[in-house]
Structure 1
Amino acid sequence: MTNDDSKVGDIPGKRSLRPLGGVLAAMAVSLTGTRISVVALPWFVLVTTGSATQTGLVAFCEMAPYVVVKAFTGPLVDRIGPRAVSWTTDLASATAAAAVPLLHALDLLSLPLLLVLVALIGAARGPGDLAKEVIVPEAAERGRVPLERAMGLSGVIERLASTIGLAIGGSLVALLGPLTALAVNAGCFALGSVIIKLALPRSMGHTAEEASSPARKTEPGYWRQFGEGFTFLRGEPLLLTVIVMVGITNLLDAAITSVLVPVWARQSGNGATAIGLMGSVMGAAGVGGSLIAAVVAQRLRRRLVVLTGFLLAGAPRFLILSFDAPLGVVLAVFAVSGFGAGFVNPVLGAVFVERIPRPMLGRVNALGDSLSWAGIPLGGLIAGAAVTAVGLAPVLLACGIAYFLTTNLAGLRREWQEMERTGGQSVPEPSSKDDASRGNANLAT
């Protein structure tokens, strides 16, 4: 007798696209649900409380646990496997999200209880997103898909879900109200959990040898594994440089998204419609860039692709807003920026996966993601204070210059030469990859 988990996906040397298709589908529905809640949850708080301060507090209570919990659950993903973490956390997110409209309908939803629920959603989303990131490289190997192509497809899914999810969220809120949109969000998380549970073999994340080896039974404790992630990153100057650079650009991106664009839209007279157009144009162009990157990125020089992508994606957005240009010109610049941004994540994602031993992928990715996201909650606060102090145009110019210098100075560092592939293969054979990963892991521990 055999079960579904021992079928094609587990047969060594045989190609199976089912795991990659499954994880990409799960990412699509869960990310779409997240973007729906980006519209529905703030609107729900605004219409029920009328307080912008409470709306910001709710957003903070979701994102702070996301970053913190994601940082500390890397060893958990490595120990019990990304498949189990993904479907269980998606189910937890679905339960917490469904409780919001249910408790409101029963007239039991207070602000403190809402804060607890959104904190639970954020705390579950962090490890859930991390687990899906960790699954992608192994799923690509099982399907014999080049790593850059798999990471590019992942980027396409993320940007497409952002574009579609925001549109769906806005439509649902306008037609049926925010509570219906939040219920759809819960349904998306539940569907993502089911997809991961059914489409991915149980062995995903753990080879048969690892599962049965004595070393696995005597693996280091949780906190020692957590410390090993820091130790590994300290010995990887390239990864540290990328993390610091992305952390600064994420802070600047948060500033322009949460404060600078809304202030510009109001001062220019273009209104809230312009905000939606700018986001949609950039998101759609980003989908196109990610699709092209998925096809051709493995043939290009990585350093050139990343630096060009950041050059297009960063400073031009800030500078065009500071020049008081017509909306059509602004939209064109945002489209070019989105296209350039679509090339960045597939390449950086492939670099991380290649340099991190597979058994440590969860804990190192968790630390890297959390460090690079640490500035996001501060972006809006700093930008708001700066605009109040010196005005919009000087802040936009300063942010554009900071973006340009951060990305280009990082790209000039000597360790960035290590970004290019070694050995001429972007996707090694699974057997040799696993052997190398296990060897590196033993040296690290």
Structure 2
Amino acid sequence: MARPVPLLLLESATALSGIGNGVVIVALPWLILERTGNAAIAGLIAACTAVPLLAASVFAGTLVDMVGRRRIAVLSDVLSALAVLAIPVADLTVGLSVGLLLGLAVIGAMFDPAGLTARETMLPAAAQAARWPIDRVNSVHESVWGLAYLIGPGLGGVLIARVGAVHTLWVTGVCFLLSALLVRFIAMAGVGHPPSRPANVRQAVLEGLRFVWRDRLLRTLGLLMIALIVLYLPIEGVVLPVYFQSIAAPQRLGATVMAMSAGGIAGSLLFGVFVSRVPRRATFIGGVVLSGLALLGMSFLPPFPLLLAFAALSGLAYGPVNPLANYAMQQRSPERLRGRVVGLMSSSAYAAGPAGFLLAGPLVQGIGVKPAFVMLAAAFLAIALLTTALPVLRELDRPA
């Protein structure tokens, strides 16, 4: 008998966590720019979160395999909530200096990879409980993420205009706490105590690293995703906030990020519909190349309606990419290693965005918004075109 409740709880928690992070995407850079007026400082603070993210990405999957998926998901959301809520609390009490803001941002970033990994590893069990094909679940999961990032940045832009950037972060904390509450009630096989717990953390980490590196498809997809996200997320997190702040239009910032997310939702859902009719390799290559072309169109900062159209097209084209990466991880990793494989793949890519801020902040400060945007978009497109010359991607079309 089909049991859709675990999948519903999991995706609801994913949505709340994503909304919280979506608010942070626009609120934190805006807060930093509001307090310092310096894009380079905004980029530096964001980049400083890359070090703990990178370290956390290595150990997140191991923790999931050792402690259990549900426990880590709940703990991660609770700790993320406390770190985010400390920012407005500090502002109301001791005062919010740049150093304190940096410290809290770093602490908050440390917990995200574990929660992301834990929820991702629950997807196959949730699909089995609901009696849904795994491609359909991946499609829905990525669409939920897209919906969350559609709501979150838009909500963040509206709240910044109404109550200010620092008080907007109260919403993020509440979202994380509600996500933890929902995950706590997920009951299905494979989410509690791990069936085979690694005895040694170091050996467990190395085993996961070796597995991912020796699998040619996973290694290639992992490196590609890191390279693309290094260029993509700083566009949302540095370039667009600086541009829209320069024209005093926070609502337009939210609307632009929302357009990218709306396109991503549509792209993910279309992937679930047409995955059996279109080769996976062609879908992956076509998605990243078309997304790069749309980003290049955005980079010339055309009139706002055209900018929104390019933003939506970029998201639409990129929509199938993450479901395809999820499929590769799920089909090529054994159950006992799934936490480590998902942790290394997903969380390393997740950590790549803040690392790209280290480039984007000084670049914007040094040469201006438009030239920096063009350079980032052109680099994204160049890497996307490289995928056409990678024969290993044909393994996406081979049976599991």
Provide TM-score, normalisation by structure 1: 0.79
Consecutive unaligned residues of structure 2, counting only runs of 5 or more, are none
Tell me by how many angstroms 1:309 deviates: 1.2
Distance 1:95 1:401 in 2: 39
Distance 2:343 2:267 in 1: 26
Compare 101-110 and 152-161 and name the one that shifted more.
101-110
Question: In structure 2, the residue corresponding to 1:97 is in which secondary structure?
Answer: helix
Contact map agreement 1:163 1:283 (CA 8 A) in 2: yes
Question: In structure 2, the residue corresponding to 1:73 is in which secondary structure?
Answer: helix
After superposition, the C-alpha distances for 1:389-424 in whole angstroms (9 at most, x for unaligned) are 77777766655554344234334322212111417x
Kindly, what percent of the aligned residue pairs are identical? Answer: 30
Distance 1:345 1:415 in 2: 17
Contact map agreement 1:242 1:410 (CA 8 A) in 2: no
- 1:135 corresponding residue in structure 2: 122
Out of 115, 131, 136, the position equivalent to 2:102 is 115
- 1:241 corresponding residue in structure 2: 220
- 1:286 corresponding residue in structure 2: 264
**Which amino acid in the other structure matches residue 319 of structure 2?**
G
After superposition, the C-alpha distances for 1:93-138 in whole angstroms (9 at most, x for unaligned) are 2222223323333336554444333222111122111111111222
Out of 345, 348, 351, the position equivalent to 2:328 is 351
Matched, 1:334 2:321: no
- 1:39 corresponding residue in structure 2: 26
**Which amino acid in the other structure matches residue 312 of structure 2?**
A
Compare 276-285 and 88-97 and name the one that shifted more.
276-285
Compare 402-411 and 26-35 and name the one that shifted more.
402-411
Out of 375, 390, 415, the position equivalent to 2:392 is 415
Aligned in 2, Cα 1:418/1:312: closer, same or farther, shift over 3 Å? same
Matched, 1:360 2:360: no
Out of 264, 280, 301, the position equivalent to 1:302 is 280
Out of 60, 66, 71, the position equivalent to 1:73 is 60
Distance 1:265 1:104 in 2: 25
Root-mean-square deviation (CA, aligned residues, Å) is 3.1
**Which amino acid in the other structure matches residue 379 of structure 1?**
G
Question: In structure 2, the residue corresponding to 1:145 is in which secondary structure?
Answer: coil
Contact map agreement 1:22 1:200 (CA 8 A) in 2: no
Aligned in 2, Cα 1:198/1:36: closer, same or farther, shift over 3 Å? same
Aligned in 2, Cα 1:25/1:391: closer, same or farther, shift over 3 Å? closer
Out of 354, 375, 382, the position equivalent to 2:359 is 382
Contact map agreement 2:244 2:252 (CA 8 A) in 1: yes
Aligned in 2, Cα 1:265/1:48: closer, same or farther, shift over 3 Å? closer
Question: In structure 1, the residue corresponding to 2:275 is in which secondary structure?
Answer: helix
Aligned in 2, Cα 1:33/1:265: closer, same or farther, shift over 3 Å? closer
Matches within 5 A, 1:419-434: 419-422=396-399
Compare 397-406 and 131-140 and name the one that shifted more.
397-406
**Which amino acid in the other structure matches residue 103 of structure 2?**
V
Provide TM-score, normalisation by structure 2: 0.87
- 2:11 corresponding residue in structure 1: 24
Distance 2:377 2:35 in 1: 37
Contact map agreement 2:40 2:365 (CA 8 A) in 1: no
Compare 412-421 and 344-353 and name the one that shifted more.
412-421
Consecutive unaligned residues of structure 1, counting only runs of 5 or more, are 1-13, 211-215, 424-445
